[in-house]
Chains A and B, each alone.
Chain A
Amino acid sequence: MTPSLFLFYAASALTLGGGMGVVATRNVVYAALSLLASLMGVAGIYLVLFAEFLALVQVLIYGGAIVIVVLFALMLTRLRELGGPMEHRQWPLALVGALGLFAVLAAAIARTGVPQGLERMGPPVAKVGASLFSQWAVPFEAASVLLLVALIGAIVLARPGGRD
């Protein structure tokens, strides 16, 4: 087993274990922390794939911002309870649906003629940046407007008072 394969399996275990923790836990705060573990595992996978910039973005935005915002929301909505992963009466259907989708996807992956034995390569970060600000400049600006609108909308919605 090559070191990169070992790292890949370790990061995958963290990712999937964290994901199961999010879905299966009874405590919402543990769910948020499991999500953090899972997202850090995803960052590790980005590193294995030579996407250093995205790994950094993943740690900063998901680990730094999103999980913190979720934790704040949990404290403000005071959720303790929670049944376990089987709280909903349609959970067997959900399980069948999820496993069935996985089976279909795995079969599709196994049968598709994806070229095997490709080298994995990553671009230098400068190249990603250059392409983001030249070829993808308009979508990039649209994304920044989207973020601004979402920010203003979130403030307006969460502001106390106002009409209901």
Chain B
Amino acid sequence: MITLAHLQVLSAALFCVGLYGVLARRNAVLILLAIELMLNAVNINLIGFAAFVDHEQFVGQVLAIFVITVAAAEVGLALAVLLRLYRSRASVRVDDLNMLKW
């Protein structure tokens, strides 16, 4: 039988996989994909709580819809920024993007 703890552990594991990706990869597109993993981990948690705890309102499902919307907007914008960067710097490695450092 599935319990809430199953979902919480899965969500935590997926979040940590994404965290490793964000911290350890250098390619900006891969970092973006890892952020998507982390957002999905949050969504699993929200929907798990909606299904197990909140039997009146199911607020978690509505919040998950908003998270998916914001994730879509984020990917679109971030990829446009990366295209722009690639055009002007010929690289999307985050190590090369240190123009704001002094």
Q: How far is the CA of A119 from the CA of B51 in the complex (A)?
A: 8
Contact A121 B51 (CB under 8 A): yes
Chain B binding surface SS class? helix
Interface contact A45-B29, CB-CB below 8 Å: no
**Do A94 and B12 have beta carbons less than 8 Å apart?**
no
On chain B, the number of residues with a Cβ less than 8 Å from chain A's Cβ atoms is: 69
What 0/1 pattern do residues 65 to 82 of A give for CB contact below 8 A with B? 110011011101101001
A151 to chain B: closest CB distance in Å? 7
Interface residues on A, range: 35 or more
Q: Which residue of B lies closest to A147 (CB)?
A: B73
Give the residues in chain A near B10, CB-CB below 8 Å.
Answer: 12, 15-16, 45
CA A42 to CA B49, docked complex, whole Å: 15
The answer to whether A22 and B5 have CB atoms under 8 Å apart is: no
Nearest-neighbor residue (CB-CB) of A124 within chain B: B58
Partner of B30, one of A31, A72, A101, A139: A31
Q: Are A88 and B44 in contact (CB under 8 A)?
A: no
Q: A39-B40, A118-B4, A154-B79 are in contact. Are A102 and B23 (CB under 8 A)?
A: no
- 30 contacts across the A-B interface (CB closer than 8 A): A22-B21, A22-B37, A23-B17, A31-B30, A35-B37, A42-B44, A45-B10, A45-B44, A48-B2, A49-B7, A54-B61, A57-B65, A61-B72, A70-B29, A73-B82, A76-B83, A77-B82, A82-B30, A85-B24, A91-B24, A98-B19, A99-B16, A114-B5, A115-B53, A118-B52, A119-B52, A136-B62, A150-B72, A154-B77, A157-B83
Which positions in B face A, CB cutoff 8 Å?
1-10, 12-21, 23-27, 29-30, 32-34, 36-37, 40, 43-44, 47-48, 50-53, 55, 57-58, 61-62, 64-66, 68-77, 79-84, 86-88, 92
